[in-house]
């Protein structure tokens, strides 16, 4: 039986393994990398811009920096959040350079584990398994000029597409089946990265501490979702303002424990940044 890759503890155990990480990056981005250290909950000091953001999984080679983010709960602004991560990883390099050169190519891979609930600005639903963004300019004829190379990839296995390349499909199957068919997954274990990930997250191979941490993370997540849903429902009912701030504070406290940024907490609770900073000081 597989551990659930929808769980932050299980996800990080798998994707901070060098064999898994390198194979995942190779298959998703089509590049080979060599890395020394894979970091989790990565922060930059001093913070970039006005937002103290945190990256789930981060690695940097001599010429590349790669971030993997797992997003299990979809908020109406999460694409804005990921775009901010992407651009800030590029911008952060300016702190180290007197010129405008950006030496490292930035790659961000986002894994969403639930179906999309938001629509495009034109009102049409988003039903894509793989979304790609790069910053290279193009001519009026559509010819791309290779100037930057930075790439953003969003993966969502809940919207299968027959045109998805097999090298990507194998990883999407791993993620989806660990959540929906953990007891009898059908996976391509000929891929050494997939095989290693399966070994790492097989339930019998999890330590007692990892199982406890995974349960705690899931419990915190469930509580946060319930509080958010309750706040949304009460917000829809006219005249039911009493107690709303208390619920927002409780949501904010849970989000702080989960490592969310101040601006993210402000967006889901309506609290001011000053209120959130006070809550952090009360921890």
Residue with tokens 């990480």: 21
Q: Cβ(85)–Cβ(55) under 8 Å?
A: yes
What's residue 196's pLDDT?
97
- List the structure tokens of 186: 């059908």
Cβ count within 10 A of residue 230: 15
- List the structure tokens of 263: 């601006």
What's residue 239's pLDDT?
45
User: Largest Cα–Cα distance of the chain, in whole Å?
Assistant: 59
Tell me the mean pLDDT per 10 residues along the chain, length 283: 92 94 95 89 72 80 80 63 83 68 84 86 90 91 90 93 96 96 94 97 93 84 71 58 72 81 82 87 74
What's residue 283's pLDDT?
58
pTM, full prediction? 0.76
Bond before 46 cis per omega within 30 degrees: yes
């Amino acid at each position: 039986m597989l551990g659930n890759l929808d769980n932050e503890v299980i996800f990080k155990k798998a994707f901070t393994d060098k064999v898994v990480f390198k194979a995942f990056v190779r298959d998703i981005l089509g590049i080979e990398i060599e890395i020394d250290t894979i970091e989790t909950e990565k922060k930059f000091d001093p913070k970039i811009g006005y937002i103290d953001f945190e990256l789930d999984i981060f690695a940097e080679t001599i010429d590349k920096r790669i971030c993997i983010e797992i997003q299990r709960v979809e908020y109406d602004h999460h694409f804005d959040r990921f775009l901010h991560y992407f651009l800030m990883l590029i911008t952060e390099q300016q702190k180290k350079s007197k010129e405008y050169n950006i030496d490292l190519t930035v790659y961000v891979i986002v894994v969403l584990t639930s179906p999309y609930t938001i629509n495009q600005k034109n009102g049409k639903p988003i039903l894509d398994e793989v979304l790609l963004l790069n910053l290279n300019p193009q001519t009026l004829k559509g010819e791309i000029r290779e100037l930057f190379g930075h790439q953003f990839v969003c993966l969502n296995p809940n919207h299968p597409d027959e045109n998805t390349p097999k090298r990507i499909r194998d990883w999407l199957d791993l993620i989806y089946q660990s959540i929906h068919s953990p007891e009898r997954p059908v996976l391509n274990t000929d891929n050494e990265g997939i095989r290693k990930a399966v070994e790492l997250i097989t339930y019998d191979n999890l330590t007692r501490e990892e199982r406890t941490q995974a349960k705690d993370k899931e419990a915190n997540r469930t509580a946060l979702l319930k509080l958010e849903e309750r706040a949304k429902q009460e917000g829809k009912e006219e005249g039911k303002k009493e107690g709303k701030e208390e619920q927002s504070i409780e949501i904010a406290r849970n989000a702080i424990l989960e490592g969310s940024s101040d601006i993210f907490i402000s967006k889901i609770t309506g609290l001011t940044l000053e209120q959130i900073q006070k809550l952090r000081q009360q921890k």
